[in-house]
């Protein structure tokens, strides 16, 4: 069970082994454009490539969907960013239950956006957990855990790709432990529980009344898409990559302090490296300023 790109390495890992993937559950296709073109999920397309049965229920609790699932008689279900809550009626059917690939150091960052919240909070380490699913939201026992140390430049996209690849390998290791009856379940701590709410559109706007480190965490979280932005002359300017300059100053937050678009924050300075105007390509700051000059002394985010 999975839907986006994050789930692809797990499915690819499974089909490359002796394990039989009898079905894939993924989100239903969306339809867009004048001709209502069908847009299937990444996992939907991948499953079809391997001639695997694809199920796209809008909700799982319906009795018909429960019976269809029961008819597959699965030994185990692997979940990676599926998108629907798994009801108790489903959880009880497989012999070995459901296991989930979760990209955070549980119980920190349970919920919908663990990778983004990890970066936005400035965490210096995280983990990938293979979890035995229960009825709660990411509350199940941990089967495998791999710690990841984070530097202060990693983006959410980079962490996403790293967790997706490693998670697929960890799923195979977990299945091997189950086959050998060597699985040890570790209950999650009740201490340090946090919830990773989805990123809201109003969080994409940069507030220069915050410190430069906190602002850079937001930039790295939203890079390259949807992108953290500021306004200048009523135009949205996205900062895709930036550098923090530890500089004590008396400039007003949001003030451009030099001809390289360095912007004063409440504490420190943000120096953009890669920017993007609406409808334009991402370009480096020097090229950006040749076509869209923002001189020193001007204030962004008016």
Residue 171: half-sphere exposure toward Cβ, Cα within 13 Å? 29
Q: E strands along 40-124, which residues? A: 54-55, 77-79, 98-102, 110-111
* Cα-Cα-Cα-Cα dihedral sign, residues 286, 233, 268, 257: positive
Residue 46, marked binder? no
Residue 184, marked binder? no
Residue 121: half-sphere exposure toward Cβ, Cα within 13 Å? 17
Residue 105, marked binder? yes
Residue 53: half-sphere exposure toward Cβ, Cα within 13 Å? 10
Residue 107, marked binder? yes
Q: Give the residue carrying structure tokens 């979280």.
A: 221
| Gyration radius of the chain over CA positions | 22
Binding-site residues for (6S)-5,6,7,8-tetrahydrofolate: 104-107
Binding-site residues: 104-107
């Amino acid at each position: 069970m999975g839907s986006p790109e994050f789930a692809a390495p797990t499915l690819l890992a499974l089909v490359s082994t002796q394990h039989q993937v009898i079905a894939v559950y993924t989100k239903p296709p969306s339809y867009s454009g004048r001709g209502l073109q069908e847009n299937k999920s990444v996992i939907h397309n991948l499953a079809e490539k391997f001639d695997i049965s694809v199920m796209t229920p809008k909700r799982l609790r319906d009795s018909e969907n429960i019976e269809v699932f029961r008819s597959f008689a699965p030994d185990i279900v692997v979940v990676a960013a599926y998108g629907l809550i798994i009801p108790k009626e489903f959880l009880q059917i497989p012999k070995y239950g459901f296991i989930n690939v979760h990209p955070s150091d549980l119980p920190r960052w349970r919920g919908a956006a663990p990778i983004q919240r990890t970066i936005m909070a400035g965490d210096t380490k995280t983990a990938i957990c293979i979890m035995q699913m229960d009825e709660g939201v990411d509350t199940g026992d941990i089967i495998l855990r791999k710690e990841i140390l984070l530097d202060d430049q990693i983006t959410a996209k980079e962490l996403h790709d790293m967790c997706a690849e490693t998670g697929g390998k960890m799923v195979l290791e977990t299945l091997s432990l189950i086959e050998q009856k060597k699985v040890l379940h570790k209950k999650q701590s009740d201490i340090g529980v946090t919830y990773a709410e989805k990123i809201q559109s109003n969080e994409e706007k940069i507030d220069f009344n915050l410190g430069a480190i906190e602002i850079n965490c937001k930039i790295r979280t939203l890079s390259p898409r949807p992108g953290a932005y500021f306004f200048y002359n009523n135009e949205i300017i996205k900062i895709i990559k930036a550098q923090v300059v530890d500089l004590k100053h008396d400039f007003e937050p949001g003030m451009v302090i030099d001809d390289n678009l360095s912007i004063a924050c409440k504490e420190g300075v943000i120096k953009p490296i890669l920017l993007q105007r609406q409808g334009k390509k991402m370009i480096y700051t020097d090229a950006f300023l040749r076509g869209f000059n923002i001189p020193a002394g001007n204030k962004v985010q008016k």
